[in-house]
Structure 1
């Protein structure tokens, strides 16, 4: 039995149709990613499921016994509530029943006894007598500090508390709306593990392609009011979507050709009109109506960078730079040189000091120790994740062009309305105050403002938050063709992999290390470095460390017979594991997979997760042994 079902469901706002006779069914155990352009109606669809939005037409059905929980897009307030109380707030109705029962417990009149019996049945049905144990279980599972206040926690830990409030309800369906916004990479990966371990259904919106690729068992796309379903993860969706768009273009071309022929026929002379077929005239009228109802696919944003003269070859150089904030060292003895054309990514936990390092690199902040040398002819354009450069009371036009009717891009004047249409703002929307915009629209305004400035050095601080995937991919293409220097702070792993040429990683205790490549390259190089550094000192090492040292050959020595045999066998084992994983992926991506018995579906999904972990472990062991052998 499905968890929820849409049947020809419609939702409109004014003259704009967001959901146009859509059908949807979500089965237990599915993890369904909802994708689409900004403003397509994704959040509205989630509101229908959660009950906050009623459809204008059609039917929404849900299992009568279903429990639906949400992880809101906004972080919980950093207030004085205890973390334990925040988690318990997910059981607010159960808490109310318990309080009501305890208030009546000492009453002996007949009406109170009858009410007590009713409350007791409700509490038993909701497992309300084990309220504290349920909360404690979630606190332990998520490693949450129950006695701390929310004001004491970082944004990532407040997100954990919000997830705890959702999971403590033991929901059948979990709703997530952009759950990774403002989270650092470590917390995003932790969140992925929690969702993978959750055995209920999941419906989520996310622009994080790496997260969607890992979590989704099915993609549903909302496009021009219509909902399409694509089995498999994000990579498979891209392949299927490309084929679908090509087929749509072919059908539209055939339709338009037929319409043009009929229009030509109807406009023929007197002789043709005397002999024309009335049925053919009615068919033409129907074709005209159908063409008028066809909603063209919303165009993707299209924009280019304003060119500036080249900077000097050296952009910035740091020599033995150290800096502390509120008594805590965040940068320790950093020596670094950035050359013209470098694309450098900065990664690390929230609060690690990425924005501080940016200010030092730009010359806006003097470090406590060390030297900073800036290059010549630098023209910097800065993207602020907090959108501090936008005036919320002013319109989009005023924020981008200062109210001027034209704007100069690469030496040519363009009307501001035309320029903003490249960023998907209609003439009416361009006159809207920024305070009325969505998060994605605000980011597009920031990009429109940023790309109108001549710059040979771009500094982007979390530019990907709230952007839809198509705009993200276009931004990637532009940055790859950009000939200036790029400094990028981002928690979007796929974006980093696709854009940057080197990575500065904040690794704790003030250590900032430089790695070649993007996020996956950093992971690989860090694993190799960690393997190479396992050399415990004899007098200080624990017994376990001594044993580990004995088991692993030192650099410069040949692998032992046992380890060499293990290395030789690993390629075949990995090939076998990959084949089994592909078979499981194909099985779980089948269109009718979730219509099978729930226990069987759960068992196969668990097998898929286990096989992924097995293959990853084999690959890590192969890399480890290869590095050992390379040292021989």
Structure 2
């Protein structure tokens, strides 16, 4: 297997995405691809797969290619069985071809090389074992196994796991994965990790999962611009080596940028001083030494021009370094509150799934334990209390009810039993795992109170600025916003002003996720409820966000399957829903 990409460039109408990307993948290569949201990671996978054509550069492929996108587009009536049969069709065709070739083979005149090639290919793909591999992969990834189940009745995460299982069983020469751990719990990630390490061909994986990069990647391609504007290939294996090397590069970049900014400031001051010398303040009085006045003026102008030429020749244009997360200083509580009282509390909560939640269930996004009566969370005798500046880490496998518990804390799902208490005036900021902004406005649940992607009527698509302003007005009307403590969206370092001026529907999944985080911070909440906060975010932002959550005075509740984040928050109180 061999894939070589040279100097790739690609742009969507009016928006360049990739420029100067070169890489090489061969058997045994496991290339991790990282970068900020909107940097072109998913686009690169489609270029490598041949679904898109580069505007510049070329790609050479040898061998079969399989792409697993973040979302599986289904056809009406398509079932799990259809997907499995489509996956196995090529392997069964190969087995049938070998059988026919062997039956018709003439030992005196037959093409032994062709038969040997077919047998070697079958051996490489383990074609005789394909059915068992599919069944094992579906089981280990906790995917739906019912062959008659329609794909359009499954959540995004469930569909992803079915497609991933099929692709792993298919054994393509080049496997392209887009955020494969977003919808997997620990046991499924462990299975995937083992499969990738043992993969006989090449692997290119776009991921924000730092632990997966550490376990799997033999090299990391960072699509974020460097000081010279080009993507960087870090050849050392593992995330920690990449993180160290990139931090060093960013430090040098920021130092160089500050030096050039200082050089520009000095240039401006010296020019001001030089041309100021041409004013009447330094000139000899009129009527005295007239010839010297003109001569000195010309000399001074020439000296200033030479200075400009010298400083400009020495100057190096350094692009602005990437913005850092500017996490706001959130309050722990309002004046006059009793620090001994919890800001929000649940007692003996029991939540029963509603039809919308069942349809939208995705790796715990509104999902929970699915027993016969549809119970999502049932914690008799349990008290979940979040005090000012409190911390809570919620863990458990897919379907354990992590997202449902956070929704109950937020007051977004009704309790079939138990009580919820919130201190008067407490402001809650919520980042749900999946929202209308992430999944599309057609899946919006009225109870979630999510800002629509498009206005009603003829106003057209909303930009980030418009949606943020609408959210602020709505919070103000409900009395949940202190006008003195509004957090400006452009000041957070999450999205550029250019991105905030674009319609939300045009943003990438990661950019929309950043916007959801900004919305949660808008009203300076006392409590942050974050459901899988690392999903769709770049590894750089995840590192910055983790540090901010540890340091913020606000109370924080995090539900996550991210193994590195769980390790970073290991000293927090833990509520394990797997029991």
Provide TM-score, normalisation by structure 2.
0.70
Q: Given the superposition, is the C-alpha separation of residues 5 and 309 from structure 1 closer, same or farther in structure 2, using an over 3 Å criterion?
A: same
1:474-623 to 2 correspondences below 5 Å: 474-499=544-569, 501-507=572-578, 511=579
1:404-415 to 2 correspondences below 5 Å: 412=484
Partner of 2:492: 422
Which one of the candidate residues 442, 449, 460 is aligned to 2:519? 449
1:173-572 to 2 correspondences below 5 Å: 173-224=174-225, 226-230=230-234, 231-251=236-256, 270-271=298-299, 291=317, 294-304=318-328, 306-307=330-331, 309=334, 312=338, 313-315=340-342, 316-322=344-350, 327-329=373-375, 330-340=377-387, 341-362=389-410, 367-370=415-418, 374-375=422-423, 377-388=425-436, 389-393=450-454, 394-402=462-470, 412=484, 419-420=489-490, 422-499=492-569, 501-507=572-578, 511=579
Tell me how far 1:33 sits from its aligned partner: 0.8
Matched, 1:73 2:77: no
Q: Given the superposition, is the C-alpha separation of residues 248 and 429 from structure 1 closer, same or farther in structure 2, using an over 3 Å criterion?
A: closer
- SS of the equivalent of 2:24 reads strand
Tell me how far 1:435 sits from its aligned partner: 1.7
CA distance in 2, matches of 1:60, 1:384: 39
Tell me how far 1:337 sits from its aligned partner: 4.5
**Residues 67, 170 of structure 1: 8 Å contact kept:** no
CA distance in 2, matches of 1:245, 1:400: 31
Tell me how far 1:202 sits from its aligned partner: 1.2
Which 5+ residue runs of structure 1 have no aligned equivalent? 103-118, 512-632
CA distance in 2, matches of 1:427, 1:213: 34
Q: Given the superposition, is the C-alpha separation of residues 282 and 46 from structure 1 closer, same or farther in structure 2, using an over 3 Å criterion?
A: farther
Q: Given the superposition, is the C-alpha separation of residues 127 and 50 from structure 1 closer, same or farther in structure 2, using an over 3 Å criterion?
A: same
Tell me how far 1:69 sits from its aligned partner: 1.3
Matched, 1:47 2:46: yes
- SS of the equivalent of 1:303 reads coil
- Tell which has more relative contact order, 1 or 2 (C-alpha 8 A, sep 6+): 2
Q: Given the superposition, is the C-alpha separation of residues 427 and 496 from structure 1 closer, same or farther in structure 2, using an over 3 Å criterion?
A: same
CA distance in 1, matches of 2:184, 2:160: 8
- SS of the equivalent of 1:453 reads coil
* RMSD (Å) for aligned C-alpha atoms: 4.4
Partner of 2:130: 135
Answer with 469-478 or 141-150: which moved more: 141-150
Q: What does the per-residue CA deviation read over 1:344-371, in whole Å, with 9 as the maximum and x for residues that have no partner?
A: 1222233322333334445555644555
**Residues 19, 226 of structure 1: 8 Å contact kept:** no
**Residues 83, 163 of structure 2: 8 Å contact kept:** yes
- SS of the equivalent of 2:542 reads helix
CA distance in 2, matches of 1:478, 1:262: 38
Q: What does the per-residue CA deviation read over 1:420-479, in whole Å, with 9 as the maximum and x for residues that have no partner?
A: 253443444323222222111111221222111142222222232211122222322332
Provide TM-score, normalisation by structure 1.
0.64
**Residues 9, 23 of structure 1: 8 Å contact kept:** yes
**Residues 35, 220 of structure 1: 8 Å contact kept:** yes
Number of residue pairs aligned between Structure 1 and Structure 2: 485
**Residues 68, 175 of structure 1: 8 Å contact kept:** yes
Tell me how far 1:86 sits from its aligned partner: 1.4
- SS of the equivalent of 1:504 reads strand
**Residues 343, 485 of structure 1: 8 Å contact kept:** yes
**Residues 9, 19 of structure 1: 8 Å contact kept:** yes
**Residues 138, 165 of structure 2: 8 Å contact kept:** no
CA distance in 2, matches of 1:365, 1:93: 46
Q: What does the per-residue CA deviation read over 1:196-253, in whole Å, with 9 as the maximum and x for residues that have no partner?
A: 2323221111112122222212212112251212212111111111222233345556
Q: Given the superposition, is the C-alpha separation of residues 139 and 498 from structure 1 closer, same or farther in structure 2, using an over 3 Å criterion?
A: same
- SS of the equivalent of 1:402 reads helix
CA distance in 2, matches of 1:489, 1:455: 18
Partner of 2:84: 87
- SS of the equivalent of 1:226 reads coil
CA distance in 1, matches of 2:299, 2:17: 47
**Residues 34, 206 of structure 1: 8 Å contact kept:** yes
Q: Given the superposition, is the C-alpha separation of residues 338 and 8 from structure 1 closer, same or farther in structure 2, using an over 3 Å criterion?
A: same
Matched, 1:3 2:2: yes
Greater fraction of residues in helix: 1
**Residues 458, 486 of structure 1: 8 Å contact kept:** yes
Q: What does the per-residue CA deviation read over 1:485-534, in whole Å, with 9 as the maximum and x for residues that have no partner?
A: 22222222222333471121112xxx4xxxxxxxxxxxxxxxxxxxxxxx
CA distance in 1, matches of 2:154, 2:128: 23
CA distance in 2, matches of 1:242, 1:74: 32
Q: Given the superposition, is the C-alpha separation of residues 402 and 179 from structure 1 closer, same or farther in structure 2, using an over 3 Å criterion?
A: same
Tell me how far 1:39 sits from its aligned partner: 1.4
Which 5+ residue runs of structure 2 have no aligned equivalent? 100-113, 276-296, 354-371, 437-449, 455-461
